[in-house]
């Protein structure tokens, strides 16, 4: 009886990145509730330290995986490999940057407390579980942890009605997306007899063609794509993003646009290329169509907005389209021993974009001033005159998002387009380049407002844009990383290629 109840062996150190985030979240909630308010800035410092420790542990495990090979953990439910550790490092970096931006924001809005930071940590846990999952049920659990954290974060500014409205909208639509995903997992289980990625592949490889229940699995694949496409705000499942991005607190918006995309795209890449490679000829045209629509809608609708947060929301949709270009390229060789560069290009894009968007929204948070409601183009008017250093940093980040050479944005876009060209997907590569040109107008509008538009009557009466230390540090780190990668991209490109080859054979 005791033997029957014995659980699977657990490699505690292999799970240490998750355990650090979980322990930090529990400390924030329990100790923060029992003790008086912590000294100024300590909530953010504690959370950032936990995120930094997670990054270090992920690097140590990545090195171990390079020497010892990838392996399954916790009853083969999750995978420890370079891919999952790369995603862990990227998510932990977004948590660290989000803490720097959030600290000043919460104190400015008189909301300082442990709750938001604890939710950052739980969202990070959810994203990492999604990247490590080797089981559709485990993936769903990670997805829900991430999503529930985001729902609460979107409504965390209790005095802003726009935030409450956006959270309700996100919650309702997110519930539908989760239902689609779960139903898709059930159909895949019905067609293959398993929800584990390796067992799904084995079930198909060992079953005669006449016995395969392809119709059931294909329906499940379609529903899985719907659920994941909603999380990455891909067209036509993007309609929640502009309203939620605009209504949520600006640091939360930055975190959703970065950590949320990393977790969801990492899960999408694993599911499609590792669990469902036998159906690549069926799902790849769907990904191609969604990518083209996402690129077109995101780029075109972004240029007609007047609120910068909505502009960047549609820009985020467009960037999701670029990442989907890499996913489509990865689909050409899904399941093969020598995969294409699409996986590496997509994951590299996610890391570079995450840093870019965190820095960009850090500037938007400062320009939003008290109340976080001055985020239209008029709020940026004259920023180059009053805060030239801040405007210069914003300009660099916007140029990077446009894909200007010598910035990380160019490296990211060049990577996914090159991956598509290598697989002879010329049409989608051309669409991506045209979308990049159209989207450049959006970033130029913001730069013109900062540097060229003349001041108007009443501008001097507005609240001055402050540049507190922690948010300024987040901007400096983002700009510095953007330029370093732009001028010397070889090290990060090599790291992505080394880390993101999804293992075809994993040790038990």
Distance CA 3, CA 51 (A): 38
> Position of tokens 């960047």?
312
Distance CA 273, CA 333 (A): 8
Using a 10 angstrom Cβ sphere, with 0-12 exposed, 13-18 middle and 19 or more buried, the burial of residue 70 is buried
Q: Supply the pLDDT for residue 4.
A: 59
Identify the CA nearest to 413 among candidates 305, 299, 253: 299
Q: Supply the pLDDT for residue 504.
A: 46
Q: Supply the pLDDT for residue 303.
A: 86
3-state secondary structure of 79: strand
* β-strand partners of 307: 376
Whether omega for the bond prior to residue 236 falls within 30 degrees of 0, making it cis, is yes
Q: Supply the pLDDT for residue 89.
A: 94
Record the tokens describing residue 167, joined without a space: 């959270």
Q: Where are the domains of the chain?
A: 14-499
One digit per residue, the tens of pLDDT, for the chain of length 508 reads: 455 566 777 778 889 999 999 999 999 888 877 777 777 778 899 999 999 999 999 999 998 888 888 888 888 889 898 899 999 999 999 999 999 999 888 888 888 778 899 999 999 999 999 999 999 999 999 999 999 999 999 988 877 787 788 889 889 888 888 999 999 999 999 888 888 988 888 887 776 455 556 788 889 999 999 999 999 999 888 888 889 998 889 999 999 999 999 999 999 999 998 888 888 888 999 999 999 999 999 999 988 888 899 999 999 999 999 999 999 998 888 777 666 688 899 999 999 999 999 999 999 999 888 877 888 888 888 888 888 999 999 999 999 999 999 999 999 999 999 999 988 889 999 999 999 999 888 899 999 989 888 767 666 767 778 888 889 999 999 999 999 999 999 999 988 888 766 544 454 4
Q: Supply the pLDDT for residue 119.
A: 94
In angstroms, how far is CA 349 from the centroid of its own chain? 10
Q: Supply the pLDDT for residue 208.
A: 45
Identify the CA nearest to 168 among candidates 252, 115, 247, 111: 247
Q: Supply the pLDDT for residue 457.
A: 65
> Position of tokens 């947060």?
309
Distance CA 317, CA 71 (A): 34
Q: Supply the pLDDT for residue 181.
A: 93
Helix residue ranges per DSSP H, 332-387: 342-367, 383-386
SS percent in the chain: helix, strand, coil, step 5: 75, 0, 25
3-state secondary structure of 376: strand
Q: Supply the pLDDT for residue 458.
A: 65
Record the tokens describing residue 368, joined without a space: 């939003």
Planar angle of CA 437, 440, 442, nearest 5 degrees: 135
pTM for this entry: 0.94
3-state secondary structure of 279: helix
Burial of 137-150, coded b for 16+ CB within 10 Å and e otherwise, reads: ebbbbbbbbbbbbb
Distance CA 5, CA 191 (A): 29
Q: Supply the pLDDT for residue 211.
A: 55
Q: How far is CA 448 from CA 8, 303, 443, 467, in A?
A: 59, 13, 9, 21
Q: How far is CA 385 from CA 256, 392, 453, in A?
A: 31, 11, 10
Q: Supply the pLDDT for residue 55.
A: 95
Record the tokens describing residue 329, joined without a space: 């390229």
Q: Supply the pLDDT for residue 187.
A: 92
């Amino acid at each position: 009886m005791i033997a029957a109840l014995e659980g699977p062996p657990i490699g505690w150190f292999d799970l240490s990145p998750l355990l650090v985030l979980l322990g930090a979240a529990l400390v924030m909630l329990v100790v923060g509730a029992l003790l008086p308010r912590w000294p100024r800035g300590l909530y953010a410092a504690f959370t950032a330290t936990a995120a930094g420790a997670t990054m270090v542990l992920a690097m140590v495990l990545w090195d171990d995986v390079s020497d010892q090979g990838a392996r399954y953990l916790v009853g083969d439910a999750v995978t420890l490999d370079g891919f999952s550790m790369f995603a862990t490092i990227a998510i932990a970096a977004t948590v660290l940057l989000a803490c720097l931006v959030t600290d000043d924001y919460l104190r400015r809005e008189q909301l300082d407390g442990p709750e938001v930071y604890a939710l950052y940590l739980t969202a990070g846990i959810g994203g990492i579980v999604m990247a490590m999952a080797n089981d559709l049920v485990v993936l769903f659990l990670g997805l829900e942890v991430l999503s529930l954290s985001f729902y609460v974060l979107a409504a965390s500014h209790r005095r802003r009605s726009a935030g409450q409205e956006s959270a309700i909208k996100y919650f309702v639509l997110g519930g539908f997306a989760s239902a689609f995903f779960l139903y898709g997992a059930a159909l895949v289980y019905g067609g293959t007899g398993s929800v584990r990625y390796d067992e799904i592949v084995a079930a198909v490889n060992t079953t005669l063609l006449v016995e395969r229940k392809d119709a059931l699995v294909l329906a499940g694949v379609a529903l899985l794509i719907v659920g994941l496409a909603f999380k990455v705000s891909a067209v036509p499942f993007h309609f929640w993003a502009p309203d939620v991005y605009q209504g949520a607190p600006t640091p939360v918006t930055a975190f959703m646009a970065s950590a949320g995309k990393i977790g969801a795209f990492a899960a999408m890449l694993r599911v499609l290329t590792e669990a469902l490679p036998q159906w690549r000829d069926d799902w790849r045209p769907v990904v191609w169509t969604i990518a083209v629509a996402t690129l077109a809608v995101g780029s075109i609708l972004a240029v007609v907005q007047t609120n910068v947060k909505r502009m960047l929301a549609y820009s985020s949709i467009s960037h999701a389209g670029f990442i989907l270009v890499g996913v489509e390229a990865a689909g050409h060789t899904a399941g093969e021993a020598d995969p294409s560069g699409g996986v590496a290009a997509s994951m590299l894009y996610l890391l570079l974009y995450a840093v870019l968007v965190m820095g960009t929204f850090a500037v938007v948070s400062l320009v939003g001033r008290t109340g976080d409601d001055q985020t239209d183009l008029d709020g940026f008017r004259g920023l180059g005159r009053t805060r030239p250093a801040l405007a210069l940093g914003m300009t660099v980040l916007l140029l990077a998002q446009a894909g200007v050479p010598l910035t990380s944005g160019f490296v990211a876009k060049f990577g996914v387009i090159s991956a598509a060209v290598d697989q002879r997907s010329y049409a989608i590569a051309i669409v991506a380049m045209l979308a990049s040109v159209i989207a450049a107008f959006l970033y130029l509008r913001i730069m013109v407002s900062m540097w060229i538009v003349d001041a108007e009557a009443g501008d001097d009466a507005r609240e001055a844009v402050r540049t507190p230390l922690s948010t300024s540090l987040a901007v400096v780190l983002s700009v510095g990383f953007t330029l370093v990668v732009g001028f010397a991209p070889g090290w990060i490109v090599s790291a992505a290629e080394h880390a993101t080859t999804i293992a075809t054979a994993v040790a038990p």
